[in-house]
Amino acid sequence: MSALRGATAVVGIGQTPLYKRGTSPDPELKLCLRAIVAACEDAGIDPRDVDGFVSYGLDKNDPPKLAAGLGTRELRFSAMNWTHGGGIPGAVGLAAAGIVAGQADVVVVYRAIAESAGQRLRVAVAQDDTAAQYLVNGIDGPAQMCAMRTQRLLAEGVPRETLRAMAMASYQHAQNNPDAVAYGRPLDEAAYDSSRWISEPYHLFDCSRESDAAVAVVLVSAERARDLRQKPAYLLSSPTGATGAAAGLEENHTPYGSANFGSVARRLWSESGYGPSDVDVVQVYENMTGMGVAALIDHGFCTPETAGEVLTLKNLTAPDGGLPVNTSGGNLAEGFIHGMSLVAEAVRQIRGTSCNQVPGAGLSLMTGGPGDPLVSSALFASDSRL
């Protein structure tokens, strides 16, 4: 068992409204402050007492810029997890490591994105690290790269219908979330099937929606968490890693149809002492539906052979499905805040406050950006599952 298992907990979550990309009334840094302050208020913690800051994906809102606005008493810890959305759960793990090592007491993990701060969000999240091998050959966006990986996954026998089920589950959940971008816009099979192609095998509804917004969560030690006002969501494990790292770039990773979680998932189950059949609810980062399918396969929720039976709309939908996913609507239907809203939703499920609550959820998983060269996952627990 890892020294981090159950040693810290998320005690506060804060999320700004989701604005369509480019329409936030606030600049990015202000959105970031709003999310952090909201997370502190949720936890009952004075924002001045936040002494640690962690983010990922080249977030530009670095701690010194935030500290003056928060009134930070002493900035003691800062860390940035490399990679893109793949690094989110690992960023939560960095916060936990900082607390357990005595480097900080109250750590926020956050991400803020607003198109007014710079480039089109899908370009900004690419972090200018798109190699010439892509751009010369007509490949720009993650949609195209992920499309090739999913095409391979389908060629290896995973049914195409699993992609539609993932999209429809997210849209169905969003109908109960008034804050979701797709609230009031249900998706049926016909609308999915007839939507335009983006990059085959992806239709429009296979792709996430970019939003201007910010999300923050606050972590403290498990001991302190018990004295605060919210039900703690204990962090059991949040490994970061890569599989086959020696050739993991520019579409040369193996296995190619995988979302790269092989070694991370093994460590997650080993460190937590649980397995996929124990998990009550999953927030799966879906930049594109097919990558979410691959992430679920990587974590052992099904195999390529059983994906068609397991990944059905009925099974993926709360409260009655056996494997409810993306219960706030996820990146596809709630909105895309570079995946960070999935952490907040994973915590809500432990608290019992989701708009699509899984009854009695005690183990809540969040999987990070699938297919990134570096990925991570986090398993949260209620105190009864420690």
**Single-letter residue type at 375:** V
131 binds other proteins (CB under 8 A): yes
Q: Using the rule CB under 8 A, which residue among 57, 141, 304, 362 binds other proteins?
A: 141
Q: How far is the C-alpha of 36 from the C-alpha of 216, rounded, in Å?
A: 5
Contact 364, 349 (CB under 8 A): yes
Q: How far is the CB of 298 from other proteins (least distance, A)?
A: 18
Contact between 194 and other proteins (CB under 8 A)? no
Q: Angle 112-114-120 (CA atoms, 0-180°, nearest 5)?
A: 125
Is 250 among the residues that bind other proteins (CB under 8 A)? yes
Could you tell me the smallest distance in angstroms from the CB atom of residue 291 to other proteins? 13
- Does position 157 interact with other proteins (CB under 8 A)? The reply is no
Task: Let me know if 41 is exposed, middle or buried by CB neighbors in 10 A (0-12, 13-18, 19+).
Answer: middle
Smallest Cα–Cα separation from 174: which of 316, 345, 328?
A: 328
Using CB under 8 A, pick the residue from 7, 82, 100, 144 that binds other proteins.
144
Cβ pair 371, 294 in contact under 8 A: yes
Rounded Cα–Cα distance for residues 176 and 328 (Å): 8
With CB under 8 A as the contact rule, the residue among 5, 122, 164, 348 that binds other proteins is: 122
Which CB, 136 or 190, lies closer to other proteins? 136
Q: Which is nearer to other proteins, 65 or 120 (CB)?
A: 120
List the one residue from 68, 136, 194, 277 that touches other proteins (CB under 8 A). Answer: 136
* Residue 152 binds other proteins, judged by CB under 8 A: yes
Say if CB 259 and CB 46 are below 8 A apart. no
Rule CB under 8 A: say whether 1 interacts with other proteins. Answer: no
Q: Which residues contact 296 (CB under 8 A, 6 or more apart)?
A: 282, 284, 302, 307, 310, 311, 323, 325, 367
DSSP 205: G
Q: Please name the residues in contact with 105: beta carbons below 8 A apart, sequence gap of 6 or more.
A: 49, 51, 52, 99, 220, 221, 224
Does 135 bind other proteins (CB under 8 A)? Our answer is yes
The length of the chain is 386
Dihedral of CA atoms 80, 83, 85, 90 in degrees, nearest 10, equals -50
Establish if 149 lies at the interface with other proteins (CB under 8 A). Answer: yes
**Closest separation between CB of residue 117 and other proteins, Å?**
16
Q: How far is the CB of 166 from other proteins (least distance, A)?
A: 18
Q: Kindly tell me which residue out of 132, 184, 190, 384 binds other proteins, with binding defined by CB under 8 A.
A: 132
- Answer yes or no whether residue 190 interacts with other proteins by CB under 8 A: no
Token pair recorded at residue 45:
């913690």
Q: Which stretch binds other proteins (CB under 8 A): 30-38, 51-59, 85-93, 247-255?
A: 247-255
Shortest Å distance, C-beta 248 to other proteins? 10
117 binds other proteins (CB under 8 A): no
Q: For residues 161 and 250, which CB has a smaller minimum distance to other proteins in the complex?
A: 250
Minimum CB separation of residue 127 from other proteins in Å reads 8
Residues that bind other proteins (CB under 8 A): 120, 122-123, 128-141, 143-144, 147-149, 151-152, 155, 196-201, 246-247, 249-252, 256
